Amino acid sequence: MENGIEVAEDDVHSTLYIPHKYGGEGDYHYDASGVLTEDDGEVLWRDGWYEFQPHTDDPYAVHLWYMSMRDEDRNRVRRLRDWGEQDWRRIDPRAKTKHGDGHEYAWVAYLDGEFPDYPDRILDATREHVDERLRLFDAEGNEPTTVDEDYLRDRNPAFHKALLQLTMGAPQPVYYGGLVMAQVRHFDARRERPGLPSGVAALVESVTSDGLELTLVNTGARREEVVVQAGAYGEHRFTAVETDGAERGVDDGADDSDSASDGEDNSADALRVRLPAGSRMSIRAGLDRFVDDPSYDHPWSEMEP
């Protein structure tokens, strides 16, 4: 990036053109569309670097920031923005068939407060993707005439990217074996099973190096309890917790009121959140990241009732 060239897109924004190749200066007689060129049309060459192009919004810069949570990595994501071609405030209506990625930068724009409609827009698009796959099943009938290695992949009606981003504060895992890395994971305490209780919604509204902001809403007619685990595998720990603007220790709330509680000391890898019918709770939680051994164990076995 240090060898990149800033190109003004308007009076306010510039796009960083990054060199993609290195080598000796020569005659580059090929299609140079999309790369910086000299006035005579030849490919621009500077100190061995050439093929200066904008970043293509692949997901890896976002994953790098997400794993490190360093400000310099977050700023790198912003610097890579292509103001001329890539609109971070739009939803691609096309369903991805293989990698399942996309919209990482729209999600970052939402976390930065630039794209407040993102949750509604991405959920609408996801529902349309599911409907599209189900319509394909109906049109084909029960017995396919041909089946290749991509048959099931291209007909999979399960899309989880939006739910990962919105409810767990997590990017879509990298294809080819990437693990889900999340700020939080939710469990139904009453039924003792993974996932949000029926009628309970969650939205992660902020992800920073200090922690996260999360809103839980119980839309149902009965009280529910949610166990919110720090990290997908309990690898993080909650520190200070603030609910609805009131600061409290993570062991507060052992009574029957709506509360966040773990029943332990001043840090915990999970919180028990009690939500009366028709209620909501806003949680601001500090996180110590990667301080515990990751585990697939369910959290309620270590929590007091």
Q: Are 48 and 11 in contact (CB under 8 A)?
A: no
pLDDT in tens, 45-98: 888 898 888 888 788 899 999 999 999 999 999 888 888 777 888 888 777 667
Q: What is the pLDDT of residues 141-158, one digit of tens each?
A: 777 778 888 888 888 888
Classify residue 219: in a domain, yes or no. yes
Does residue 163 sit in the same domain as residue 132? yes
pLDDT digits (tens, 9 = 90+) for 258-279: 555 544 456 789 999 999 999 9
Q: Is residue 255 part of a domain?
A: yes
CB 286 within 8 A of CB 211: yes
- Contacts of 138-142 with CB under 8 Å at 24 or more apart are none
Residue 61 lies in a domain: no
> 100 and 31 share a domain?
no
**253 within some domain:** yes
Residue 115 pLDDT > 60: yes
CB count, 10 Å around CB of 161?
A: 22
- Residues 139 and 32 grouped into a single domain: no
Given the DSSP bridges, would you call strands 200-207 and 246-248 parallel, antiparallel or unpaired? unpaired
Helix (H, G, I), strand (E, B) or coil at 300: helix
* 134 and 236 belong to one structural domain: no
Q: Is residue 179 part of a domain?
A: no
The reply to whether 287 falls in a domain is yes
Q: Which of 56, 44, 51 is nearest to 22 (CA)?
A: 51
142 lies in some domain: yes
235: containing domain: 184-302
Structure-block tokens of residue 289: 């990241």
